[in-house]
Amino acid sequence: MATIIGGIGCTHVPAIGAAIDNGRTQEPYWKPLFDGYPPAREWLAAARPDVAIVVYNDHATALSLRLVPTFLLGVADRFSPADEGYGPRRVPMLHGHPDLAWHLNESLVLDEFDLAIANELDVDHGLTVPLSITVGEPDEWPFRVVPLAVNVIQYPPPTGRRCLALGRAIRRAVESYPEDLKVVVYGTGGMSHQLQGERAGLINRQFDMAFLRTMIDDPDAQAAVPHIDYLREAGSEGIELVMWLVMRGALGGPVREVYRHYHVPASNTGAGLIVLEPTTAGAAA
């Protein structure tokens, strides 16, 4: 059967992608951030997953306010990097895994999660930047990708509890897939930041660190945190962190922290990266 071998929580700041694409990663501003990425890349290269399920949010690129699905699953065999107004990022085409994606769709719908289906989908920095952070600049991505877009743009977004439950349902779905596949799950977005209004530029390191502790050790407690707490403490875009709970739910019970990196600032964001593995007990949960 397929197995979830690990989870990655990762910021998807567009300026990080621009720094990579324009050869600026060793400039004084960016170097401390990028110096923290090699251990995560080494773990991923050694783990050699076959597929990555990437939980991210579209930034009004493939979607708009005309169509706002709470959860959208990409089932295509190819996903192109989106043009976000300055041309597509110069990264490889993403190859999907339609068989696994359709299996996920069937299993999740029968598990009472109502998903929208994307037979065609361009993916923006919300998905491609975490891949660049954890893989680097390959000629081809080393694994296939199943995109799972979550609405954290238009109120109301899904609750943390719903996201955690979705992750647990993804775990059940993956483990019922008959092919032997190694799967890694990404939860992307955040950490604390606000892009507009009087609090533009807000970063709350204390909140970010507390989120990581609780997400790892007591995910149900973190899932119970209401939207307003994210908005108040982590800024208007801090709500993106609920997507990390999908990843955490997919890992099951207890987890082992493999690596953590946190840096302030990356553009106007508290930039986080964490790698988790399910323990033996977690694998059975």
List the catalytic residues: 125, 193
Residues forming a β-bridge with 256: 277
10 touches 130 (CB < 8 A): yes
Residue 82 is given by DSSP the state: P
Neighbouring CB atoms inside 10 A of 72's CB total 21
- Helix H segments across the chain? 14-21, 31-34, 38-47, 98-110, 125-135, 160-175, 205-217, 219-223, 227-234, 242-250, 280-283
162 in helix, strand or coil?
helix
Burial level of 21, CB count in 10 A (0-12/13-18/19+)?
Answer: middle
Q: At what angle do helices 125-135 and 38-47 cross, to 10 degrees?
A: 90
282: three-class secondary structure by DSSP: helix
Apex 263 CA angle, 258 and 268, nearest 5: 135
